[in-house]
Amino acid sequence: MLASQVKAFADELVPLVSGFKAWCDPVICTPFVLLPAALNVFKEKGIGVGAQNMSQYASGAYTGEVSAAQLTDIGTEYVIIGHSERRELYGETDTSVNKKVHAALESPLCPIVCVGESLEQRETGVTYDLVALQVKAALFGVAAEMMDRVIIAYEPVWAIGTGKTATPEDAQDVCRAIREVLASLYNSGIADAVSILYGGSMNDKNAFDLLAQPDIDGGLIGGASMKPESFAVIINAANQ
């Protein structure tokens, strides 16, 4: 999407969701260059705006990077951290993800922390151990009082952009395991309060079944979010 297309997208989406019960918080996460346009059209419509990445550094000579302070200065509220594509294509590690989480929490940003396994890892039976490790690493050193701003997104890498999706039961099992990890790190109250999203090819056809699961609180939507009608169906499903 181009900046010149953002308003038309918003004009189509907002009327489709304006009558829904506000039980969920829709958020649009865009590339850096689209943030000003998105903030201009969405913030007054009850739809949050987030970035798709950020720097782990607060300041310094890091050409091409965008800091938490720069994001919040223009009104950004959320940031995706550790997306599978960032890990796979750009070499992000559990350590750099943890540093970005801390950088976000030192600002007003709400980090959406992504965890998930590849097809090979799933087939070798290490899904639960791997996801638990990623959650623990991402949240290392994060104080309990900061957890009310943290969102966890489970995105099985094998189900992103492939049209494949975990069954509702499989997705629920991993999301429940994530909540159990949070309870072990903090307590059951904090674990229950953290929003856990599912991010593996959720669309308007499977959203209701996925979001009916007790430990799936929302979705991290990819391709389906580019189609206002489909995205509106998913938002409606999250409001049930």
Which of 77, 83, 102, 117 is the catalytic position?
A: 83
Euclidean distance between CA atoms 14 and 35, whole angstroms:
17
Which of 77, 92, 117, 155 is the catalytic position?
A: 155
Euclidean distance between CA atoms 28 and 78, whole angstroms:
9
Tokens of 225: 């979010």
Tokens of 13: 């989406």
155 catalytically annotated: yes
Scored b (16 or more CB within 10 A) or e, 39-59 reads bebbeeeebbbbbbbbbbeee
Euclidean distance between CA atoms 110 and 106, whole angstroms:
10
Euclidean distance between CA atoms 169 and 146, whole angstroms:
30
Euclidean distance between CA atoms 188 and 240, whole angstroms:
24
77 catalytically annotated: no
Euclidean distance between CA atoms 159 and 169, whole angstroms:
15
Euclidean distance between the first and final Cα of the chain, in Å? 29
Instruction: Provide the 3-class DSSP secondary structure of residue 111.
Output: strand
Please list the active-site residues.
83, 155
